[in-house]
Amino acid sequence: MSGAAGARGAHGASPRRRIGLLGGTFDPVHVAHVALARAALAHLALDELRFVPTGRSWQKVDAGASAQQRIEMLGIATAGLPRTSIDERETKRAGASYTIDTLIELRAQLGEAAALVWIVGSDQLRNLPTWHRWEELLHYAHLAVARRAGDTLEGLDARVRALVDAHAGEELPDAPAGSIVFFPMPPMQVSGSALRDRLARGGRPAELLPPGVLDYIDRNRLYRATPPREEPTRAPRPRSSATKRNRMDPRKLQRVVVDALDDIKAQDIRVFDTTAQTELFDRVIIATGTSNRQTRALASHVRDKVKEAGAPVVSMEGADTGEWVLVDLGDIVVHVMQPAIRQYYNLEELWG
Residues 18 and 130 reside in one and the same domain:
yes
Interatomic CA distance for residues 319 and 300, integer angstroms: 9
Domain termination residue (choose one: 114, 149, 184): 184
User: Could you tell me if 73 and 169 lie in one domain?
Assistant: yes
> Would you state the pLDDT for residue 14?
53
Q: Using 50, 70 and 90 to split pLDDT, how confident is the model at 286?
A: very high
Minimal CA–CA distance to 90: which of 98, 80, 82? Answer: 98
Report the percentage of the chain scoring pLDDT > 90. Answer: 54
Q: Are residues 18 and 150 in the same domain?
A: yes
DSSP state of 15: S
Amino acid found at 149: A
3-state SS, residue 330: coil
In what order do the strands lie in the sheet containing 332-337? 267-273, 283-288, 332-337, 324-328, 315-317
Q: Which domain holds residue 322?
A: 239-351
Instruction: For residue 197, tell me if it sits in a domain.
Output: no
* Domain end point (choices 184, 202, 220): 184
On whether residue 189 sits in a domain, the answer given is: no
Domain check: are 158 and 260 in the same one?
no
Residue type, 309: A
pTM assigned to the model: 0.65
* 274: in domain: yes
Same domain, 20 and 155: yes
Q: What is the pLDDT of residue 59?
A: 46
**In this structure, are residues 89 and 242 in contact, taking their beta carbons and an 8 Å threshold?**
no
Distance CA 188, CA 190 (A): 6
Q: Can you count the helices (H) and strands (E) in the chain?
A: 14, 13
In a domain, 168, yes or no: yes
d(CA 146, CA 185): 6
| Amino acid at residue number 228 | P
Q: What pLDDT sits at residue 155?
A: 83
User: What is the CATH number for 333?
Assistant: 3.30.460.10
Rounded Cα–Cα distance for residues 235 and 99 (Å): 37
DSSP 32-52: HHHHHHHHHHHHS--SEEEEE
Q: Quick one: 282 and 147 in the same domain?
A: no
- Kindly state the helix (H) or strand (E) to which residue 321 belongs, with its residue range: none
User: Do 151 and 277 share a domain, yes or no?
Assistant: no
Q: What is the mean predicted confidence (pLDDT) over 50-56?
A: 88
User: pLDDT by residue (tens digit) across 118-164?
Assistant: 999 988 998 899 999 999 999 999 999 998 777 778 888 999 999 99
Residue 199 in any domain: the answer is no
Any domain includes 316: yes
Give the pLDDT score at 43.
95
Task: Let me know whether 28 and 136 are in one domain.
Answer: yes
* Mean of pLDDT values over 91-109: 91
First vs last C-alpha separation in the chain: 32
Residues 21 and 158 in one domain: yes
Give the whole-angstrom CA distance, residue 145 versus residue 168: 10
Instruction: With CA atoms as reference, report the closest residue to 141 among 124, 160, 119, 117.
Output: 117
Residues 140 and 251 occupy one common structural domain: no
Are 250 and 105 found together in one domain?
Answer: no
Note the pLDDT tens digit of each residue in 215-271. Answer: 999 999 999 865 443 333 334 434 444 444 467 888 899 999 999 999 989 999 999
What DSSP designation does 63 have?
Answer: -
pLDDT of residue 229: 39
Asked whether residue 91 is assigned to any structural domain, the reply reads yes
Going across the sheet that includes 142-147, the strands are: 84-86, 48-53, 17-24, 114-121, 142-147, 180-184
69: three-class secondary structure by DSSP: helix
Residue 22 lies in a domain: yes
For residues 251 and 179, membership in a common domain is answered with no
pLDDT over threshold 70, residue 352: no
The CATH number of the domain holding residue 159 is 3.40.50.620
Instruction: Summarize pLDDT for 152-195 with one digit per residue, the tens.
Output: 788 889 999 999 999 999 999 999 999 999 999 877 778 888 88
- Count of the separate structural domains present in the chain: 2
Q: Name the burial class of residue 34, with classes exposed (0-12), middle (13-18) and buried (19+) by CB atoms within 10 angstroms of its CB.
A: buried
pLDDT digits (tens, 9 = 90+) for 68-91: 999 999 999 999 899 999 999 999
